Structure 1
């Protein structure tokens, strides 16, 4: 904050640029401390831009108050403009630091050791959920299991706790405290159920806090963005208020307008590339340049989706003959070496160039720039109730599936990514996905 602010103040000829930059920096640090931006757990949320911008606006208000109290008057527009580079520098720094933290965690470093308390199935579920991803800072080192159930995840079990109400009020305290000490746990996860709640959970928290151990309660809700969660209380009860997914209002109107405008601009800008690709497809094999395929959109509405043709003309007829060779574990049909794909088609698929005509689908409102992958009707016919939720929003030209590995992902991973997007969509998330799309296209991983 200090360096870019001092440089900007000096460039515009403000008096005492270094002193002003130092004062601004001190206020900025105080704002961050008040908002708890330096707490270790903040890095588990990633490095979102929104909180930093809000802190920056608070900084502007604090500077206005300081100048008014000190008799300096209102800040000049030049001084306010000098703070803009500092905002950009702060955002970039936090993004770089977060990427570094993720890289360190992938090497199993800088992790907090966790002791899990709950029934055997709940312990296995927590271990499995944490093991699926590396973008968090926790590693399970042990468990205290309620009852005699078998823990299948391989986590060492230090103690067995009574299933029903304990005979003594503090019966859980000693074995849990000993387990946390033996495993060197930094904090304790407690999965709540009918056996571990209310007064029992309260007394356990007392015992852990008195021994300097932190306690986290797992309510059982998964894949909910933190911005959708609010803690409330009523009559001594702690309430978890989860806001519904964004489906209407100004954000959705903004998304629709961005889709239409963005697709129109891209179509105009990429028109020469369309001509070259169409010429290459035409020369590569006999048949039409554009391949039309029926897909299923929002709320199960079918629509025609267009792509540059990457397969031979009778590919749909040959698909049934290749069904036994399907390499995907879900409803999708995928072959790494699909004999139906032409030579030019392999190149187009490698860099996702065959998807470009779907910009017309976006312009017509069938699709969005960002969203789940548009499924085929025969795939949707086999969906269960959970998988049908993928159709709650418009399918996208790109999405979490495309930037996370595409066809290399299992069906479970594909559905999980799509549901995470459906439930937690935001304009900022769309921007991040589109930024990651460029790297994913150049990388080409999972594109076949």
Structure 2
């Protein structure tokens, strides 16, 4: 995560940045306008000049225009198109949601003080539908941006400055994820000549000099930012001089602390004696917010079961006719506090699958502890279809009603897997496992074991109800795409 970014006057902004922001702004305006027009048409027909109820009330058409303009402005004021949040993480979606809530909060207050009775059906249609459509369009833009970044386009060139070990870890993490906006142009290492010698094994990255030379080196390679990584060899005065050195160069300075995988809501930056101090709130594993999550899980699971009850009966019949054996597969998994529970799934494998588990372990697809294979011979034809679209997991809604699982959470592990864990991985079980989670919407079985663990731990320590909503929306997209499921 980034602690602070300074953007000096004249900071260079790549042409692609302005182009992307302009296109997204046009999309936002189109979606908002269409949503409000459709809401007006469905509620009032196409009579544009039906008046609002109340003294000196304008026609609804002016309310539609005014709300649309306010909503578009709020999308800008919440900085939902900030290039630093577009394309990665949940912050972009949270800002889009915040813009919608603020818009309709302002409308409600204005209507109250103006004595105007706005139609509740009109507003209750526009807010959720418009926000969901905005999410969908933003997801399409994100997919396009990711494709561009995998091709080496739409990236900011950066120089990473810091100690060799920290720089090495940052370069490797950035190289393993193509969805972010940063392309490493080189590194500057602390420790002088000794630091340079130790850095010879860094993959495909040039060592440009020492940390003191970072500003000059960044100018030479055309970098847009310098990332100053946690550096015990740089004094406060030296770091300040580096900030001064980039003032008139158009190069931004990003300070990356050594604390990783901490979400922004848990971070507060305060200034004490001229020092920017980062306060990291501890994660909360109990309390009112967790009670709210527990209640939301129960209500959500019950509602989904009511909607999907008939389709689940059809799936159950397909499983029964597809191969001999029971409809449901019951398996011991490890839940909250390392307590075992019986997880339910539609049976997607032949009845002798557990006896043939060693076969899968001997030929996994490189994801280690997870032991997954694209061509697992134990999966039935019906099971292969169910797994592609995660239909086999629907009975886990019953586990949610029982209190064993959550709608969103870490992947529920097998007892045999926990025997291979180290102490850090055990922290996944501080929360209830989920039907879906960051691991599922970020690649599912295509992820390495290390990346799956990192995502689960990130969720465990940074959970919010808003993050759950975003993960559920992204899950729908991942299920439809069928990517990474086998």
TM range (shorter): 0.7 to 0.9
Structure 1 residue aligned with 2:405: 367
Structure 1 residue aligned with 2:299: 261
Structure 1 residue aligned with 2:189: 145
Range with bigger deviation, 385-394 or 4-13? 4-13
Structure 2 residue aligned with 1:41: 84
- 1:194 deviates by 1.4
Question: Quick one: higher RCO (CA 8 Å, sep 6+), 1 or 2?
Answer: 2
Change (3 A) 1:335 1:243: same
Pairing 1:354–2:398 present = no
Change (3 A) 1:222 1:21: same
Q: Is the 8 A contact 2:78 2:98 kept in 1?
A: no
- 1:220 deviates by 1.6
Q: For the residues of structure 2 that align with 1:32 and 1:288, how far apart are their CA atoms?
A: 51
Alignment match of 1:115 (pick from 128, 139, 159): 159
Q: Is the 8 A contact 1:115 1:187 kept in 2?
A: yes
Structure 1 residue aligned with 2:99: 52
Q: Is the 8 A contact 1:229 1:240 kept in 2?
A: yes
- 1:88 deviates by 6.1
Change (3 A) 1:133 1:251: same
- 1:25 deviates by 7.3
Alignment match of 1:281 (pick from 293, 297, 319): 319
Alignment match of 2:205 (pick from 155, 161, 172): 155
Query: Could you report, residue by residue, the CA deviation over 1:161-216 in whole angstroms, capped at 9, with x for unpaired residues?
Result: 5xxxxxxxxxx2xx333212111111211112211241211121112124343211
Change (3 A) 1:422 1:75: same
Q: For the residues of structure 1 that align with 2:354 and 2:278, how far apart are their CA atoms?
A: 49
Alignment match of 1:78 (pick from 112, 115, 118): 118
Q: Is the 8 A contact 2:159 2:226 kept in 1?
A: yes
Pairing 1:127–2:171 present = yes
Change (3 A) 1:99 1:123: farther
Correspondence list, 1:199-238, <5 A: 199-238=237-276
Q: For the residues of structure 1 that align with 2:455 and 2:349, how far apart are their CA atoms?
A: 28
Pairing 1:380–2:426 present = no
- 1:39 deviates by 4.7
- 1:105 deviates by 4.8
Query: Could you report, residue by residue, the CA deviation over 1:360-393 in whole angstroms, capped at 9, with x for unpaired residues?
Result: 1111000111112111101011111121121111
Q: How many residues align?
A: 429
Alignment match of 2:358 (pick from 297, 320, 340): 320
Q: Is the 8 A contact 1:289 1:308 kept in 2?
A: yes
- 1:24 deviates by 6.9
Q: For the residues of structure 1 that align with 2:273 and 2:159, how far apart are their CA atoms?
A: 30
- 1:330 deviates by 1.7
Q: Is the 8 A contact 2:335 2:405 kept in 1?
A: yes
Structure 1 residue aligned with 2:471: 433
Q: Is the 8 A contact 1:105 1:137 kept in 2?
A: no
Query: Could you report, residue by residue, the CA deviation over 1:52-78 in whole angstroms, capped at 9, with x for unpaired residues?
Result: 1454267459x85xx99xxxx625133
Q: Is the 8 A contact 2:71 2:100 kept in 1?
A: no
Under a length normalisation based on structure 1, what TM-score does the superposition of the two structures give? Answer: 0.83
Q: Is the 8 A contact 1:232 1:239 kept in 2?
A: yes
Alignment match of 1:243 (pick from 281, 295, 302): 281
Structure 2 residue aligned with 1:297: 335
Q: Is the 8 A contact 2:70 2:103 kept in 1?
A: no
Pairing 1:96–2:137 present = yes
Pairing 1:176–2:214 present = yes
Change (3 A) 1:207 1:234: same
- 1:16 deviates by 7.4
Secondary structure, counterpart of 1:150 in structure 2: helix
Secondary structure, counterpart of 2:454 in structure 1: helix
Q: For the residues of structure 2 that align with 1:428 and 1:57, how far apart are their CA atoms?
A: 18
Consecutive unaligned residues in structure 1, runs of 5 or more: 162-171
Q: Is the 8 A contact 1:5 1:82 kept in 2?
A: no
Structure 1 residue aligned with 2:367: 329
Structure 2 residue aligned with 1:164: none
Q: For the residues of structure 2 that align with 1:321 and 1:97, how far apart are their CA atoms?
A: 42
